[in-house]
Amino acid sequence: MSEFKLNNQQLVCVASFLAREGREAALLAALAELIPDTRREAGCIRYELNVSRDEPRRITFVEKFVDLAAFEAHCAKDAIQHYFHHIMPELVESHHVETYHQVIV
């Protein structure tokens, strides 16, 4: 991978959640509620929520933060911890969170 430069400072995250049957509206509401405060975080570059066109139960955040510390501070916030520990177990069938560095060409 020597030809390509990664931006090793900024942190990209794709966090995808598959709602349990019939819980997609509740999940969407719970996730959308996280948006305003997250966008107020000084280290937040992008925090966009998306609903799959083929599978309405799949709801996915596309995120970018200025660095790992900003991302970790985001994850440690009460609202995010509450979501992962109390809301997600009830509303989500499966999930996948993956963090990335962007390739700069």
Is the Cβ of residue 94 or residue 99 nearer to a copy of itself in the bound state?
99
Burial class (CB in 10 A: 0-12, 13-18, 19+), 63: buried
73 sits near a copy of itself (criterion: CB under 8 A) = no
52 sits near a copy of itself (criterion: CB under 8 A) = yes
Q: What is the DSSP letter of 34?
A: T
Closest C-alpha to 8, from 104, 105, 75: 104
94 sits near a copy of itself (criterion: CB under 8 A) = no
82 sits near a copy of itself (criterion: CB under 8 A) = no
- Cα separation, 60 vs 32, whole angstroms: 11
Burial class (CB in 10 A: 0-12, 13-18, 19+), 47: buried
Is the Cβ of residue 45 or residue 80 nearer to a copy of itself in the bound state?
45
Q: Using CB under 8 A, which of 17, 18, 43, 83 touches a copy of itself? A: 43
| Interface with a copy of itself (CB under 8 A) | 1, 3-10, 12, 14, 16, 24-25, 28-29, 32, 35-36, 39-40, 42-43, 45, 48-56, 58, 60, 62, 66-67, 98-105
